[in-house]
Structure 1
């Protein structure tokens, strides 16, 4: 914009032309900024407020540009007493303050979201941390208790994971964990809760899911993980313990104990399978 102002400022003094250049360039910048906010995800009041200031200021600049083009050629800064000129001066001062505040609040909101994501999600796999899973699972259990729905819990352990770390190193082991999570997410529903219980153990809470449906999910997870080595990646299998209850006040720890006992049976009976705390089943 500075280059565009050289001619009407130093070569041929033209106040009207300077206003048009400044108004058009700034209006385009503000509208582009408002459009950029439109493309942001998870917008809230702060984003909409900042977007409104951008659009409102751009409209004032557009009106000022139009009024200036209709003004006489003799218009000078000291003789510009139009109403839109005073509106422009007032809105510019306000918009600078409002946009500064908006940017600070937007940055603060993004930092808060990142901190919450870091606190609630495992840094490697992106699933819930143990604490976040337990908190969410207990709330879901309370909801299922009120509605009378059955709920199932899976505790999933990667078989012989220590040998994978020994053979491929910890980076290779991390890759297997990420591959497992990606595969399991293909089976789970969007509203199922999925978290890392510790090390190579993961837990999944399946709301409104009876034992038969839970067995189908566990079988599909076993099957999709068993195919992990087909594309040249590190092959691995999983063992799963299944617990299904109709919540009646118990917390997630009580159900987890049942699933953990079933997982122990799956390990003892040969791995690469799932077991239930009531019915013993073999993965397809």
Structure 2
């Protein structure tokens, strides 16, 4: 029976890991800094490459460089994949705790290499550690939420590797293990080949997860104003059309508030544009804190904002407007602006988005002409 040479299989793992490390490193360079993880994944794969090359060099290098060092590097690389996933999800890795665990296991393998030589015991220690790390890694992703193919693929691969490690651990009690990692037993070759394929599939899953994150961020940028984190004018136009159609279908009123900060240009001229930006952000924050989940706040440009209030009658919309006006008035020497607000309500029949916006703009214009810092219904 022809069995895959373990040295060849290890070289295969290293080649696959190096290739995927390059892919992930390229992603790190091209993706925005907000997407953490690809760089750590790339580093981890390169560590696995070095560990694999050293392990495959048994007989050509000093024994410590082909046993203890590879054990540490391979374990540290597998942990690095987990740490990269934690960074990807905004979680700070518990590096020192895992480093201590890995160091303890590697010291154990060193004892079973030179103190009380026992390859089966060494294999059990490393295999058990790998099974734990892959299982913890998979469970971490599950806890973050499963909602895409990339996550299912990655979790599936991690669970598969963990299962393979557990099977490998079990076989050490009733099948021959040999005395080195290069033993050409069928089960040993199978485990190494499975590990190499799994590392490749994990890397593919990581690339897909990063791609999903990038698409989500691009969608966010397309719908959110970068300064105030309110909705963009384009999104608000679409939302207004949808809500207006729903209002006509259900008979529920739809209120629209057009809000404009008074004398905002004077803030920029007197205090600078950074102060003006802070005023806009502060205004958006104050308004958002007074809204329901279904209410939509958008920035129409400059210092003008629009607020959609679904299922809201005129008297309730006016109350909301007055609360906003009162909350946003600056106090004492605080740098800020008052706000003028025009309020309108959708008509039961034959109303359009353009007509709704025109009525709200007209009401806002009346509020400005009447002396600003007031609410006018139109």
Distance 1:74 1:185 in 2: 64
Moved more, 3-12 or 243-252: 3-12
Q: Which has the higher helix share?
A: 2
Large movers: runs of 4+ above 6 Å: none
Is 1:45–2:149 an aligned residue pair? yes
Moved more, 19-28 or 202-211: 19-28
Moved more, 150-159 or 130-139: 130-139
Of 279, 285, 302, which aligns to 1:199? 302
Q: Deviations over 1:4-29 (max 9, x none)?
A: 25554577653213322331232232
Whether the 8 Å contact between 2:295 and 2:309 is mirrored in structure 1 is yes
Is 1:61–2:165 an aligned residue pair? yes
Of 218, 232, 249, which aligns to 1:146? 249
Whether the 8 Å contact between 2:262 and 2:340 is mirrored in structure 1 is yes
Instruction: Find the counterpart in structure 2 of residue 158 from structure 1.
Output: 261
What is the aligned-residue RMSD (CA, Å)? Answer: 2.5
Q: Deviations over 1:180-239 (max 9, x none)?
A: 00100111111111110010000011111111111111111111112x436x64232111
Instruction: Find the counterpart in structure 2 of residue 128 from structure 1.
Output: 231
CA change 1:19–1:209 in 2 (3 A) is same
Matches within 5 A, 1:69-88: 70-71=173-174, 75-76=178-179, 78=183, 80-82=185-187, 85=188, 88=191
Is 1:266–2:367 an aligned residue pair? yes
Instruction: Find the counterpart in structure 1 of residue 131 from structure 2.
Output: 27
Distance 1:138 1:87 in 2: 59
Instruction: Find the counterpart in structure 2 of residue 229 from structure 1.
Output: 331
Whether the 8 Å contact between 2:267 and 2:336 is mirrored in structure 1 is no
Whether the 8 Å contact between 2:146 and 2:152 is mirrored in structure 1 is no
Distance 1:11 1:111 in 2: 51
Higher RCO, 1 vs 2 (CA within 8 Å, ≥6 residues apart):
1
Instruction: Find the counterpart in structure 2 of residue 210 from structure 1.
Output: 313
Of 137, 140, 154, which aligns to 2:240? 137
Distance 1:42 1:61 in 2: 24
TM-score by length of 1: 0.86
Whether the 8 Å contact between 2:161 and 2:198 is mirrored in structure 1 is yes
CA change 1:56–1:271 in 2 (3 A) is same
Aligned-pair CA distance for 1:43: 4.0
Whether the 8 Å contact between 2:244 and 2:346 is mirrored in structure 1 is no
Match of 2:364, SS state, is helix
Aligned-pair CA distance for 1:48: 2.9
Distance 2:349 2:202 in 1: 52
Distance 2:125 2:326 in 1: 65
Moved more, 171-180 or 141-150: 141-150
Distance 1:209 1:165 in 2: 35
Distance 1:168 1:106 in 2: 44
Q: Which runs of 5+ in 2 are unaligned?
A: 1-70, 73-102
Aligned-pair CA distance for 1:76: 4.2
Distance 2:295 2:175 in 1: 68
Whether the 8 Å contact between 1:229 and 1:236 is mirrored in structure 2 is no
Moved more, 59-68 or 168-177: 59-68
Moved more, 98-107 or 24-33: 24-33
CA change 1:90–1:140 in 2 (3 A) is farther
Moved more, 244-253 or 144-153: 244-253
